[in-house]
Amino acid sequence: MRQEKFGTLPDGEEVLLFILNGSAGVTARIANYGGRIVSLEAPDRSGRPGEIGIGFADLAGYTKQRHYCGALVGRVANRIRSGRFVLDGKEYVLPLNEGGRVHLHGGIRGFSFRLWEASEDDGRLRLDYLSEDGEEGYPGELRTTVWYGLTDADLTLEYRAVADRPTIVNLTNHAFFNLNSFNRDILAHEMRLIADSHMPLDADLVPTGEIAPVKGTPLDFTVAKPIGRDIGKLPNGYDLTYIFPPGRQGEWLTEVFDPDSGRVMSVATDQPCMQFYSGNFLDGTLAGGLNGAKYPFRSAFCLEAGGYTDAINHPVLPSMVLRPGEIYRQTTTYRLGTR
């Protein structure tokens, strides 16, 4: 692992870029501003390296545009209905940063827009962040550590968090991918996602709390199919929480294959859910993309491992509450290859 300067924030703090190289020709570049995966390069079936992640050439691409590309997301990823929840009998009110109706991805700044303390830890990049009590409306002080490791062609993110008061936590990384190096959209990518149920959404894209089967619907990826095959049957494309079968966490239950380049991405996680997003809000307006990329509509997909979305507002769902003495843990690996 090596590092270089990536830029300077308005308050004068320096942002660093860390370069990790795997033995299988995979290279990851990660900034300690938001823990963002700035670049992910992987070879195609002919051995030619190519950029497969949405990234930006300099820090300005992240500070002058509000987006979550490649970022760590917290204290709670995804949406919280009306920005409100009750914990131990007390109501907490969070900022509504999504259309004035929803709390999204940890709030106005959240973990994605914070400078993390960086260090090397046994060949891995270690990022640490202390979220103060009351930050973005969340209770308690939360200490979070995320390690990025690249071994062969496996990029592994390992998360740990502890709190001094009861709070809620659901961390993830919001990386965007295109396995054909952005030569076209991701609709021909073939995906297999071994999840037999999902969380239906309301008009604000917040789960209703129900659990519904995917079988017989356009949401079913239990048998591999092109992302674009059924996307037209959905009003806004894919942006929903899939639920893995019980007891199968840690297996390679998610795989995306690009027939043109031959690249394959497989994902294994110990989390119960995977948020699949088909780039529905990308519109080509993001400036400063790597290699001049503009990132138009559906030019990338996201696979965000985590817990049940908005679980704090649905007592029947597995809890996202973290109490003093407990440790939040997550490990997610993205494996790159070809066929």
Average pLDDT score over residue span 90-110: 96
Summarised one tens digit per residue, pLDDT across range 204-244 is 999 999 999 999 999 999 999 999 999 999 999 999 999 99
| Interval 298-320: pLDDT, tens | 999 999 999 999 999 999 999 99
pLDDT digits (tens, 9 = 90+) for 271-294: 999 999 999 999 999 989 998 888
**Cα-flanking dihedrals φ and ψ of residue 234, to 5°?**
-110, 145
Measured CA angle at 153 (ends 73, 334), to 5 deg: 30
Query: Side chain identity at 46, as an amino acid letter?
Result: S
Q: What is the spatial distance between Cα 115 and Cα 44, in angstroms, rounded to a whole number?
A: 33
- The secondary structure of residue 318, as a DSSP letter, is P
Domains held by the chain: number: 1
- The catalytic site residues sit at 174, 304
Q: Domain holding 245: CATH number?
A: 2.70.98.10
9: domain range?
A: 2-338
